Chain A
Amino acid sequence: MDADVPLIEVSRLSKFFGSVIALMDVSMSVRAGEVMCLLGDNGAGKSTLIKVLSGVHRPSEGEYRVEGRAVDFSSPRQALDMGIATVYQDLAMVPLMSVTRNFFLGREPVKGMVPFRHFDFAAADTIARQEMRRIGIDVRDPQQAVGTLSGGERQCLAIARAVYFGAKVLILDEPTSALGVSQASMVLKYIMQARARNLGVIFITHNVHHAYPVADRFTMLNRGRTLGTFRKEDVSKDEVIDMMAGGKELQDLSAEIAGMTERI
């Protein structure tokens, strides 16, 4: 495969919901072995963009190419079949079910002849434990319920599952937003591992402190439009923070709070 052809590329993409413009002329791309951070405040259009990329919504205008070929997904399943896996914030995990049952949910390995065909738990347990260990999580017992895992471990399990089932592009929707510091760093480490395995990663977040260490490039979204794409070498963390919609407002806020304290 030509390394110069992006795994995913959208150009001048727009999405309208009735009279509401959710996305306008958005362009971005991600290549193999690259982490592209999609940054933006709430309401910037991040979620709509992911939903277009993962096949939930169809774009109203613009082009969507996967490995150079134009595509028009009508269901998330089609995107998944082309190796575009989305790990949603609310996850696709059932807390009451075991790690193994969750890992293989919908794609259970089976063995035996048809009337006696059954879930091959021995193989599934081994694979689940092995895949989790690869990312540095030692699942004590693959039969334990996912509900007993920490938030970071659950997020990693969801990503590990997508990778194991042949994802080429990982779309991670705010994977660190609900996590504590050590949990978030676990997920960030795993993002770097996926990058090292030559996957393309689209990392959606509004936390620059999580985005900056792992990103190769940043795409800024603000009110449905892109402010542009920047290579990490070209921008500092503070510039990124400033560019995000919150940047200026945060400065105003600290000034305002300072003013309030003085008055008191």
Chain B
Amino acid sequence: MTNRPTDAAPALADPAPPLSDERLRREGRLRRAFGRPELGALAGTILVFLFFGIVAGDTGMFSAKGVLNWLEVSAQLGIIAIGACLLMIAGEFDLSLGSMIGFAGMVIAIPVTQYGLPLWAAILLAFSFAMAVGYLNGIIVIRTGLPSFIVTLAFLFILRGLTIGLSRLLTNRTLVGGVREHAEGDWFAALFGGKVGGPIFVWMAQHGWLDTLPNGQPVVQGVSMVIVWWLVLAVLANWLLKRTRYGNWIFASGGDAVAARNVGVPVTRVKVSLFMFTALCATVFAACQVVDFGSADSQRGMLKEFEAIIAAVIGGALLTGGYGSVVGACFGALIFGVVQMGIFYTGVNTDWFRVFLGVMLLIAVIFNNYVRKKVTGGR
């Protein structure tokens, strides 16, 4: 028997082996898996794949080109969902994320096209601006004690307004093009645009695993850099969250900031750094878009903040903080990409995408609430 006081009924049948607890049920792997935040998103992903596998299996959605298509859409959202997810686990929101995308895009495009700044320098400039805005967001939230929801909502408008106002003031337009010619020979810009792994696809085409175009090139020329960024950031953020002491502080800052401070966790530093990281993710997204499209549009990134939060929530993050998963947020983004492109491939009116989003969000939140109660012992 155990040596701890117990008020439970005595064990009925054979005595329990030493140092086990008669009140502890054997939990199967399945039950344990229920405690994992990613579970809902994983199940959702499987469902979505099954659905479109049946409905759109023969439309080319699952050809090499189709797969890269929806992976790219997922990756764009995935990059910002990772930032939003970490910040949510730390107990804060960033609604200025979408506006940051538009703003960063302009900070890259305008100096390059109007003032002859090299593209690499403009991208670095955008990153510094993003860090500054993230820092400002964080400091205001912490110093004033106001909900980050309100503070970043203000920045949603400030940044969007600045983007439109400044681009009209400096260029007379809200869409600044002509970045592409500046990307030539810029190795730093090449990190954000273009494709990698071309030779692999050529090799696959030579072995007949890929269809080729009439000119002998494979149908897909490579994997977009945005997908590479997504994977790199996902692996990094996941390791950071689950395996490092900083990750432990992220959970604690969101789970109970007072308790965390009491034991010496630098909660302010953790939260501010995550606001900066989120803005950084938005800038990666923006840089990829500007280099790929060769232009910046002041309307870009509209509503992306909500999509990122939805992806994080589908991935198991709690709105109250302290719980969530980067892997889950990535699955959330994958569901988005697959459904968005799936609707396109099946020819369903894209208006229905929003309906689907809302329903997914609702189901995810209800499910997460249930999981949280399980984790905290049904209390």
List residues of A whose CB falls within 8 A of some B CB.
Answer: 76-77, 80, 88, 90-97, 101, 104-108, 110, 117-119, 121, 133, 136-138, 140, 145, 147-149, 180-183, 185-186, 189
Contact = CB atoms under 8 A, between A and B. Distances in A.
15 contacts: A76-B262, A92-B263, A93-B259, A94-B256, A95-B376, A96-B372, A97-B252, A97-B322, A101-B248, A105-B259, A119-B244, A119-B248, A136-B4, A138-B21, A147-B376
B5 interface: yes
Contacts of A182: 5-7
Given A94-B252, A105-B248, A110-B245, A140 B21 contact: yes
Interface of B: 2-7, 19-21, 24, 35, 239, 243-245, 247-249, 251-252, 255-256, 259-260, 262-265, 318, 322-323, 372, 375-377, 379
B2 A138 contact: yes
B12 to A, nearest CB: 20
B255 A108 contact: no
Contact of A96 (B248, B262, B265, B375): B375
Contacts, number: 102
Contacts of B264: 77, 80, 106-107
Nearest to B6: A182
A96 B245 contact: no
Given A92-B259, A181-B7, A182-B5, 18 more contacts: A92-B263, A94-B252, A94-B259, A94-B322, A97-B255, A105-B252, A105-B260, A106-B260, A117-B245, A118-B244, A119-B243, A136-B4, A137-B4, A138-B19, A147-B377, A148-B375, A182-B7, A186-B4
Q: Taking chain B's interface residues, is the majority helix, strand, or loop, or is none over half, making it mixed? A: loop
Contacts of B262: 76, 88, 92
Given A105-B248, A107-B264, A136 B3 contact: yes
B323 A96 contact: yes
A108 B256 contact: no
Nearest to B8: A182
A23 B252 CA distance: 34
A121 B323 CA distance: 19
B243 A118 contact: yes
Nearest to B35: A145
Contacts of A189: 5
